[in-house]
Structure 1
Amino acid sequence: MSETNLSPLWKVASSVCAVAAVVALLLWLVSRLPELNPFAEETVDRSGPAILQSVRDLSRYHAAAGDFQVVVDLEQDVPWLPDIIAGERTLFVAAGSVDAYVDLGGLADDALTVDEERRTVRVELPPAELAKPNLDQERSYVYDQDRGAYNRIESLFSTPDQRELYVLAEDKIADAAERTRLTERAERNTRTMLTGMFSSLGYTAEFAGEPSVS
Structure 2
Amino acid sequence: MTAFVLVLVVLFAGVRLAVLPGIKDFFGTESHDRSGPALLKSIQDMSRYDAASGNFQVVVDLEKDAKYLPDAIRGTRTLYVGAGTVEAYVDLGRIGDKDVTVNGDRTSAAIRLPHARLGRPALDPDRSYAVSKQRGLLDRIGDLFSDNPNSEQAVQKLAVRHIGDAARESGLTARAERNTTGMLEGLLRSLGFTDVHVSYGS
TM-score range with shorter-chain normalisation? 0.7 to 0.9
What's the TM-score once normalised by structure 1's chain length? 0.68
- Which residue matches 2:21? none
> Would you say 1:153 and 2:141 are equivalent positions?
yes
In 2, Cα distance between the equivalents of 1:63 and 1:120?
Answer: 24
SS at match of 2:132: strand
Which of the residues 128, 133, 139 maps onto 2:121?
133
Q: CA RMSD in A?
A: 1.5
In 1, Cα distance between the equivalents of 2:199 and 2:87?
Answer: 24
Deviations 1:12-34 (A, max 9, x none): xxxxxxxxxxxxxxxxxxxxxxx
- Following superposition, the deviation at residue 108 of structure 1 comes to 2.5
Corresponding residue pairs, total: 153
In 2, Cα distance between the equivalents of 1:196 and 1:58?
Answer: 15
Query: Is the contact made by 2:46 and 2:92 (CA closer than 8 Å) also made in structure 1?
Result: no
Give 4+ residue runs of structure 1 displaced > 3 Å after superposition.
none
Q: Could you say which structure has the higher strand fraction?
A: 2
Which of the residues 172, 175, 178 maps onto 2:165?
175
In 1, Cα distance between the equivalents of 2:133 and 2:162?
Answer: 20
Change (3 A) 1:122 1:58: closer
The 5 A counterparts of 1:1-214 are: 59-117=47-105, 119-160=107-148, 161=150, 162-203=152-193, 204-208=195-199
- Following superposition, the deviation at residue 58 of structure 1 comes to 6.8
Deviations 1:102-151 (A, max 9, x none): 00011122111111336111100110000111111101011000000100
Change (3 A) 1:185 1:72: same
What's the TM-score once normalised by structure 2's chain length? 0.72
Deviations 1:56-104 (A, max 9, x none): x972111111111001111110011111111100011000111110000
